[in-house]
Amino acid sequence: MAVPETNAHEIPAGHFSRLLKHWRSVRRLTQIELAADANVSARHLCFLETGRSQPSREMVQLLGSALDLPLEERNALHVAAGFVPPYGDKGLAAENLQPVRQALDFILRQQEPYPGIVIDGHWDVRMRNQGSARLLKPFRDSYEMENGLADNAMHVVFHPKGLRQFMLNWDEFARQLIQILHRDVAQGSRAAAQLLDEIMVYPGLSAEWRLPRQSATSSPVMTMQLAKGDYRLAFFSTFTTLAMPTDAALQQIKIECFFPADDATAGKARQLALSPTPGR
């Protein structure tokens, strides 16, 4: 799905009408369709989009829900209408989210001896288990990336001096991975839109990857095949998100768990877990 040229983050606060029209266009809804979904009159919706009427806080919430906006964009819609954003945006650092951090840590420990990481809305790795540190250490030690980029899951895959140099099936893997980023953009993630622009400047990326496409593959899962000399690993991964979060940053959290795609990788993970030398 092509996204209209107007970007939500380019629309300043106080311009609710423009932001509403932007998201209706992104969702490919007519005014009549959105009005029906929100259970409001098409006439009133038209007045909101032209600025002839100003929305109440309840109306902003109703339209944000009808448009299925992520919490970050519902906050932006409230700000554009002149209201205080209703959803927190502190993410994992918030003091009241200690139970969430404990739950994430529990999930990562249960994933041992295989890798597991927690990724935020910018695709920065916020937490990782010892399995991730142990198994990926030989590759991470060879990264030659700018400060901070080595902790970003997307940059690590696409940067020519990151994990990409060790990935045997990089073209296939990256082609599918970037479509996940496109889905984030289509859902309204500003961070994903910025990250996509940053990724596309790397050498060797097809111009076609700038557009969302349905990837054709004969495999039921996306496998990552890594090799550094005789050290070889093969994983497929799963993404898990938190159910019904009320924090905008927390809504974007992903838990990625890696599972061995062959017996050799499973054996290597068990072997390293018994090693007295800790991972990093």
Q: Is residue 263 part of a domain?
A: yes
Number of domains into which the chain is organized = 2
How far, in Å, are 114, 129, 180 from residue 258 at the CA level?
6, 11, 16
Is there a domain that residue 211 lies in?
Answer: yes
Question: Do the domain assignments include residue 280?
Answer: no
| Whether residue 148 is found in the same domain as residue 269 | yes
Residues 118 and 186 in one domain: yes
Residue 146 domain flag:
yes
pLDDT for position 217? 59
CATH of the domain at 32: 1.10.260.40
CATH number at residue 246: 3.30.450.180
Q: What's the per-residue H, E or C state across 178-203?
A: HHHHHHHHHHCCHHHHHHHHHHCCCC
Same domain for 146 and 101: yes
**Within a domain: 278:** no
**Within this chain, do residues 126 and 170 fall inside the same structural domain, yes or no?**
yes
User: Which among 254, 233, 127 is positioned nearest to 181, based on CA atoms?
Assistant: 254
Whether residue 67 sits in one domain with residue 109: no
* Residues 60 and 106 reside in one and the same domain: no
Share of the chain above pLDDT 70, in %: 91
Range of weakest confidence among 49-58, 96-105, 219-228, 259-268: 219-228
Does residue 58 sit in the same domain as residue 136?
A: no
Do 239 and 147 fall within a single domain? yes
pLDDT of 91? 75
Full residue range of the structural domain in which residue 23 is found: 8-80
Is residue 54 in a domain?
Answer: yes
Judged by DSSP in three states, 240 sits in strand
Question: Is 157 found in the same domain as 65?
Answer: no
**Burial (CB count <10 Å: 0-12, 13-18, 19+), residue 62:** middle
> Which pLDDT tens digit goes with each residue over 203-248?
999 999 998 887 665 566 789 999 999 999 999 999 999 888 888 8
Same domain, 73 and 146: no
pLDDT tens digits along 143-186? 999 888 999 999 999 999 999 999 999 999 999 999 999 999 88
